Structure 1
Amino acid sequence: MVDRDGTPSLTEKPVPAVSFLSGLSGRLLLLTAAFVLIAEVLIFVPSVANMRLQWLRDRLNTAAAASVVIEGLPDQELPRAVQEETLMATGAKAIVLKKQDASRIVAAAADMPPSIDAQYDLSDVSMLTSIYDAFDTLVFGGDRIIRVFGPVGESSTRIELLLDEYKLRRAMLGYARNVFILSMIISLVTASPIFFALNRLLIRPIRRMTANIQEFTADPSNPSRVLEPSGGRDEIAVAGIHLAAMQQTLQRTLKEQKNLADLGLAVSKINHDMRNILSSAQLMSDRLSDVDDPVVKRVAPKLLRSIDRAVGYTNEVLSYGRMREPEPRRRFVALRPLVQEVSEVLALDLRGDIEFTLQVEPGLQVDADSEQLFRVIHNLCRNAVEALSQDNGVERRTVLVTGLRTGSVVSIAIDDNGPGMPAKARENLFAAFRGSVRSGGTGLGLAIARELVLAHGGTIALVEKVTPGTLFRIELPDRPVPLDAFRHRA
């Protein structure tokens, strides 16, 4: 099946297979792990900076502890063996103790570096500075000689170290590796329960709805393909309820379309034979005009008009199935004779059980297509007569048609004292195949009446009333008069 532009229709396009990684489950797992890793990175940045500061402070504290031993001794150089042990314990190239304005070299390596590449004061370091220094060491460090200094406890004495940055960088890389491995474990441990929880709460219901949509698309007329709501109260459950309602509505629409197609085919067959039968009846009716009988001459025109309308009514169902009714050919029509003709067609004057009352001024005219307005009033009056034909315990059965002009709007009311309209018909008022008043009806009469009234720019509505029965009100406005025509008429 292809669309008008030659492209395959949506129902014929192949549906791609969903793998784990391309599906929502895989993406959810990857995204959860990625977000946890991002959180770990945000934690890692200050932690690695803090680790670097702590490593340097540990070296200063170790050197300070060793320096306290010789602080009270007279100024003399320590033996080389003691210096080597002190330097090995701190991992420094040199240790300098400063007190007030005096400096003392506690220990120094034999191979002192010729220059210092960077120096850091640990007495007061801000967070941003520590982060910058940490990444500077990780990225560019490793082969530099650095000078680190800070206070000894709460005293005014300061301790200075010359350090090879290689050991510091190696310790930081080891720390980063451990943090990375721990972050991966934490991300997987954290992502797994989140994944399973979201998979159960979100992915499974969505997958169920997706599978149902695919099954429903394959056979939308099958009632068993309608989604069964899960019964929850969350957003997905509410979406499932609306999806099931939409599928049921679509099935009803498809059924109505099928009914329309079947009716169209049936009426086409009936219309072909009915036209031949009515043509023969029309020829025989024409001969009645030659009969010299006053009664025949009075009845023959009405019979001919009834036959003509019968031919038109054979197309009534087909007319509803078209996109729209023909544009109304409007002119000012006397309303009272038109309603009287409806009464004659329904043979209400021959029925003794229904009283037809007409309250329309003789001079009242309505701007409408006479044939279409006849169909509207005929459909409503016919429904009223059929409702009154039921045994509802009313002794005096009446159909009242009133007409009133208010300014440029004519209001027409069709009222009966029958059993009233059923609740189902009220819910589906003016809906074909669902708004039928009587059992076995199609509901096309009200649907066609509404379509014709709307084509005139008017309204038709069911009016609530206290007394039993049904009351429909039609309001038809006059066409706007062009300014040139108004001036010419004036």
Structure 2
Amino acid sequence: MDAKVPVEAQMDDASSAGAATLPDRVVLSTRPRGPGLTAKLIIVTILFVMATGIAGFVPSLAAFRLRFLEDRLATARAASVLLDSSIWSDVPRTVQDDLLSAVGATAVVLRTGGATRLLAAADMPPSVDETADLRSSDMLGSIGAAFQTLTAWTPRTLRVIGPAQDGASLELIISDRPLRAAMLHFAGNILALSALISIIAAIPIYISLQRLFVRPMRRLSQAMVRFSQDPEDKNGIIVPSGRSDEIGIAENELAAMQSQLSETLSQKRHLADLGLAVSKVNHDLRNLLASAQLFSDRIAALPDPTVQRFAPKLIATLGRAIDYCQTTLAYGRAREREPRRRLVALTRVARDVYEVLGLDQNARIRFESRVPPGFEVDADPDQLFRVLLNLCRNAIQAMDGEDDPAVVRRLSIEAMRRGTVAVIRVCDTGPGVPEKARVNLFQAFQGGVRPGGTGLGLAIAAEIIRAHGGSIALVDEAGPGASFEISVPDRPASFDQAMRARGR
């Protein structure tokens, strides 16, 4: 009984940590840092519609250039009837210049077969800067020529060759200034029309996208912000709209996540309140346990056979109550420290567990250590002892719940190697683990197997094994009872250590 007195001091130390509080919540800002999704949507819609119009504008500009040159050739062909007549030589020079100006050319040349004849020309025809052959024109070449005309800042002279008709073809020498001016006017009209069409087309597209995507996304974001302000408020959970697309899936998943998170936070709040309540009753509980210890010591000293028969049960009950208090307060006070791993002889650890649990004096439960001699585990010795102690204590308590003397009560510890992984099994012949308890088996305050159990033993064992990089699980085996399997991998050796070991 004297060994359990320090528990009271530990309970005093834990009383200040019992008033657990949840961290302050982070409230999300509802104001976007940049342009909102609505503004971005309408800007992108207008830009893409305008880009579509501009994509059609480029070939239309090249086609406009070809039509302009064809019109000039058609006018020159009509004028060539007069220019090729015998009376043209009698026409005054001023009338000839007016006709050339109407055609928009500085020279008109008629080709018939292999003969070339100048029908009309200015006094000093300029040199030709570019030739536009309309007899064979491709779209890419026309587009390049159109942009070359638009970007020409200085006047240029074009030679336009028309297709042959009735064995004769015309050639014109013209300035590109009228063509460039007409193209700029056409381009301005097309761009203005494209902008107008873009705006008109963007409105229904914007409205459709607004209803299909923006509003549902805004609803999702507002639901997240509203839920973040008070996660424990069930009214803040989004109600799915019933859509069957990706947004509907996002709404369903968000609603499920918010419900789970709200329930988890509510449980944590209850646990925090529980810690506060434990800290308040800690002082009174300590006094009661101290008094019970004194009474049990006095009772154990009485020679009465009945007292001697019930005193061990009383002492065991008090010890179990103190262990529960110590485990609960230790779990709520701090997390487990990092493992200080060493090579541990598992047979010695199993022997310590056997002695601490008093199995040498327990006539009802038979303990078997099936650990191979010399079996070593790379682990923290104290933490490995705690894991095995918790598992074995749970097994003993499960088997002690049965009073039938014919029932076999056996607890065993086994061990084997799987490569670089040490596998330890703790098996018993008790009633086993119910299906309902398997879901939250290794979660604190939720994985209790026995009525009234807290489930802290398995939660602490799982936390310790995870810190070692291993795993712990309930193994289904043929036969009665429960079997817990612990896997602890060896620490990976560095390259230098491996080379030194090989050199030995």
| TM interval, short-chain normalised | 0.7 to 0.9
Whole-Å separation in 2 of the counterparts to 1:207 and 1:396: 68
Kept in 2: contact 1:376–1:452 (CA 8 A): no
Residue 403 of structure 1 pairs with residue 413 of structure 2: yes
> In structure 2, do the counterparts of structure 1 residues 133 and 478 end up closer, same or farther at CA, with 3 Å as the change threshold?
closer
Classify 1:181/1:396 alpha carbon distance in 2 versus 1 (closer, same or farther; 3 Å).
farther
| Cα pair 1:93 1:161 within 8 Å, conserved | yes
**Residue among 372, 389, 394 paired with 1:379:** 394
Structure 1 residues 308 and 466, CA gap change in structure 2 (3 angstroms):
closer
- 1:427 aligned to 439, 462, 469, which one? 439
Q: Decide whether aligned partners of structure 1 residues 180 and 410 sit closer, same or farther in structure 2, where only a CA change above 3 A counts.
A: closer
Note if 1:236 corresponds to 2:247. Answer: yes
Deviation, 1:292, is 6.3
> For the structure 1 residues 50 and 342, does the alpha-carbon distance in structure 2 shift closer, same or farther, using more than 3 Å as the test?
farther
Aligned residue among 246, 262, 286 for 1:251: 262
Deviations 1:124-180 (A, max 9, x none): 445444334323332335x73624231443565332223343322222122112211
Q: 2:48 aligns with which of 29, 35, 43?
A: 35
Structure 2 residue 82 is the aligned partner of structure 1 residue 65: no
TM-score, normalising length from structure 2? 0.73
Question: 1 CA distance for matches of 2:278 and 2:166?
Answer: 110
Q: Tell me: CA distance 1:312–1:338, structure 2 relative to 1, closer, same or farther (3 Å).
A: closer
Of residues 4, 9, 24, the one that matches 2:37 is 24
Counterpart CA distance in 1 for 2:237 and 2:323 is: 41
Structure 1: which amino acid aligns with 2:103?
T
Describe the shift of the 1:186–1:471 C-alpha distance in structure 2 as closer, same or farther (beyond 3 A). Answer: same
Distance 1:298 1:217 in 2: 60
Tell me, yes or no, if the aligned pair for 2:75 and 2:103 is still in contact at 8 Å.
yes
The reply to whether residue 120 of structure 1 matches residue 131 of structure 2 is yes
Which letter does structure 2 place at the counterpart of 1:247?
Q
Counterparts of residues 461-476 of structure 1 (less than 5 Å): 461-464=473-476, 471-475=482-486
- Gaps of at least 5 residues in structure 1 are 1-8, 350-355, 484-490
Would the aligned equivalents of 1:95 and 1:160 in 2 still touch at CA under 8 Å?
yes
What SS does structure 2 have at the residue aligned with 1:228?
Answer: coil
What does residue 137 of structure 1 align with?
149
> Structure 2: which amino acid aligns with 1:412?
V
2:201 is the counterpart of 1:187: no
Distance 1:77 1:59, change over 3 A: same
Give how far 1:52 is off.
1.1
| Conserved 8 A contact 1:267-1:314 | no
For residues 23 and 363 of structure 1, the distance between their equivalents in structure 2, rounded to whole angstroms, comes to 67
Residues 148 and 160 of structure 1 are in contact (CA less than 8 Å); yes or no, is this contact kept in structure 2? yes
The equivalent of 1:3 in structure 2 is: none
Paired with 1:137 and 1:363, the residues of 2 have a C-alpha distance of 94
Change (3 A) 1:139 1:208: same
Shift of 1:210: 0.5
Q: Does structure 2 conserve the Cα–Cα contact (< 8 Å) formed by 1:118 and 1:147?
A: yes
State the shift of 1:305 in Å: 6.7
Deviations 1:267-300 (A, max 9, x none): 2233322222222233344445765679978987
Q: Which amino acid aligns with 2:249?
A: V
Judged with a 3 Å threshold, the aligned counterparts in structure 2 of structure 1 residues 65 and 313 are, in CA distance, closer, same or farther, namely: same
Superposition pairs for residues 197-208 of structure 1, below 5 Å? 197-208=208-219
CA distances 1:233-259 after superposition (whole Å, capped 9, x unpaired): 332222222222222222122122212
Q: Which residue matches 1:413?
A: 427
Q: 1:457 and 1:472 mapped to 2: Cα distance?
A: 21
* TM-score (norm: length of structure 1): 0.75
2:131 aligned counterpart, secondary structure: strand
Partner SS for 1:105: strand
Indicate the SS of the match to 2:232: coil
Paired residue type of 2:430? D
Distance in 2 between residues matched to 1:395 and 1:126, nearest whole Å? 104
Counterpart contact for 2:387–2:460, Cα < 8 Å: no
Alpha-carbon distance between aligned partners in 2 of 1:333 and 1:466, rounded to the nearest angstrom: 24
Q: Does 1:166 align with 2:177?
A: yes
The 1:218–1:441 alpha-carbon spacing in structure 2 relative to 1, beyond 3 Å, is farther
By how many angstroms is 1:343 displaced?
9.8
Aligned to 2:366: 358
Partner of 2:26 in structure 1? Answer: 11
Match for residue 159 of structure 2?
148
Q: What is the CA distance between 1:457 and its match in structure 2?
A: 7.3
Query: How far is the alpha carbon of 1:58 from its aligned partner?
Result: 1.6
SS of corresponding position for 1:413: strand
CA distance in 2, matches of 1:362, 1:132: 89
Change (3 A) 1:175 1:96: same
CA distance in 2, matches of 1:342, 1:210: 64
**Over residues 85-122 of structure 1, what are the superposed CA-to-partner deviations in whole Å (9 max), with x where a residue is unaligned?**
6435423333222334544333345xx45634634232
Sort the Cα spacing of 1:35 and 1:244 in 2 relative to 1 into closer, same or farther, 3 A.
same
**Structure 1 residues 422 and 202: alpha-carbon distance in aligned structure 2, compared to 1, 3 A threshold:** same
Question: Higher relative contact order at CA 8 Å, sep ≥6: structure 1 or structure 2?
Answer: 2
Deviation at 1:197, TM superposition (A): 2.3
Q: Secondary structure at the match of 2:240?
A: coil
What amino acid does structure 1 have at the position aligned with 2:349? F
Deviation, 1:216, is 0.3
Q: Is the 8 A contact 2:471 2:488 kept in 1?
A: no
Determine if contact 2:392/2:411 at 8 Å carries over to the other structure: no
SS of 1:315 mapped into structure 2:
helix
Distance 1:464 1:76 in 2: 115
Please report how far the alpha carbon of residue 373 of structure 1 lies from its aligned counterpart in structure 2 after TM superposition: 3.6
**Partners of 1:455 and 1:96 in 2: how far apart?**
96
Q: 1:208 offset after TM fit, Å?
A: 0.6
Contact 1:52–1:168 (Cα < 8 Å) also in 2:
yes
Unaligned runs of at least 5 residues, structure 2: 1-23, 498-504
Structure 1 residue 320 displacement after superposition: 2.4
Question: Cα RMSD (Å) of the superposition?
Answer: 4.3
Report the Cα distance in structure 2 between the residues aligned to 1:295 and 1:405, rounded to whole angstroms. 43
State whether residues 64 and 152 of structure 1, in contact with CA within 8 Å, keep that contact through their aligned partners in structure 2. no
Counterparts of residues 91-130 of structure 1 (less than 5 Å): 91-100=104-113, 102-108=115-121, 112=123, 115-116=126-127, 118-122=129-133, 123-130=135-142
* Amino acid paired to 1:47: S
What is the aligned length?
450
The secondary structure found in structure 2 opposite 1:33 is helix
